[in-house]
Amino acid sequence: MSELLSICQKPITADSNTSLDKIISILLKNNISRILLTEDNSNVGIITEKDIGLFLLSDDSEKNLDDIPASQLMNMFTSVDGSMSVEKCVEIMLEKNIGSLGVSSNANGLVGIVTKTDIVRYYSKNYSGKHNVGDLMTISYIAMNSDNSLKDIVSKMIEEKISRIFLKNEKGDPEGILTFRDLFHVALEQGNSDAVLDNSDGAISVIFTRKGFLSESGFGNTIVGKDVMTKSLESVDFEEDLAVACDVMAQNQINGIGVRIKDKLGGVLSKTDVLKAIYVENNSK
């Protein structure tokens, strides 16, 4: 069996007409970041956590999530032969800026899917001692105050085109991180409600129709970051072996990890950075 076939996973699928609220529920239930979409038992596309996140960040309609089919957001799906090297897959994923590839067999068709998570585990097993975290980390990172409204935080994520943002307290100390998955929980709670209760004014309660995360009058302006953020913030030292950081990301099932410099948050490391490490290692010889 090839290394690629040994690390790929069986994909979770859903019909392309499945509503967005059900797609989000499947993602959260299985703790995955993408679902293959099918029509008449044939693969027609893929929908990812990022696709949904970007949609939710910019959607200001009053359309409920159960009225939006997954096909509205799906993208084309790229597949490779199971005999291909993992390193070549990394090159394709970086070139196409995608987070997964289908893995096929001439005899059995699509047999699995390989994701950045699988690549991260592969790096941990095969590239230990090759790089330190500081070699690949991004030194600058985007942060906001945890007391900022969800609307303002989401606006910043759109402006910077990022899928996660660090949140700090009044003293400037990291307090948590807000990701697409945190927003999904809000979407399920609020997105299928025809009305949202606004208690920003203690004297009155006003009912507003759902207008999305950027709403001035709905939940986007009445929920603050610390109410929905992930409060645990995993981090590693910048001098640590990159393989150790891969283990932390894999074990905690997270897409990015904070990097400490002299015990202060000094940057961030993502799964994409790990793919770049593999690419650099195999193109510098």
User: Is 118:32 a contact under the CB 8 Å cutoff?
Assistant: no
- The two most distant CA atoms of the chain are separated, in Å, by 68
At residue 97, what is the residue type? N
**Tokens, residue 217:** 């009058």
Beta carbons within 10 angstroms of residue 202's beta carbon: 6
Using the predicted structure, report yes or no on whether residue 36 has a pLDDT greater than 70.
yes
Using the predicted structure, report yes or no on whether residue 240 has a pLDDT greater than 50.
yes
d(CA 15, CA 5): 25
Q: Which of 60-74, 175-189, 226-240 has the highest mean pLDDT?
A: 226-240
Report pLDDT for 62. Answer: 65
Domains and CATH numbers, the chain: 3-116 (3.10.580.10), 135-282 (3.10.580.10)
Adjacent-strand bridge partners of 243: none
User: Is 205:196 a contact under the CB 8 Å cutoff?
Assistant: no
Element (H, E) at 102: strand 100-105
Report residue 9: phi and psi, to 5°. -115, 155
Q: Which of 56-65, 206-215, 252-261 has the highest mean pLDDT?
A: 252-261
d(CA 199, CA 207): 9
Helix (H, G, I), strand (E, B) or coil at 10: coil
Report pLDDT for 211. Answer: 52
3-state secondary structure 17-84: CCEHHHHHHHHHHHCCCEEEEEECCEEEEEEEHHHHHHHHHHCCCCCCHHHCEHHHCCECCCEEECCC
Write out pLDDT tens, residues 156-173: 988 888 888 999 988 888
What's the chain's average pLDDT? 86
As a whole number, mean pLDDT of residues 47-73 equals 83
Adjacent-strand bridge partners of 235: 258
Four-residue CA torsion sign, 112, 117, 121, 126: positive
More confident residue, 108 or 22: 22
Helix residue ranges per DSSP H, the chain = 3-7, 20-30, 49-58, 86-96, 116-126, 133-136, 150-160, 180-190, 225-228, 242-252, 271-282
More confident residue, 76 or 140: 76
Using the predicted structure, report yes or no on whether residue 210 has a pLDDT greater than 80.
no
Residues with Cβ within 8 Å of residue 38, at least 6 apart in sequence: 13, 14, 15, 16, 44
CA 191-197-201 angle, to 5 degrees, is 140
Structure confidence at residue 242 as a pLDDT band (50, 70, 90) = very high
As a whole number, mean pLDDT of residues 132-146 equals 91
Element (H, E) at 110: strand 109-115
Structure confidence at residue 280 as a pLDDT band (50, 70, 90) = very high
Helix (H, G, I), strand (E, B) or coil at 168: strand
Q: What is the pTM of this model?
A: 0.84
Helix (H, G, I), strand (E, B) or coil at 190: helix
Using the predicted structure, report yes or no on whether residue 263 has a pLDDT greater than 50.
yes
Using the predicted structure, report yes or no on whether residue 198 has a pLDDT greater than 80.
no
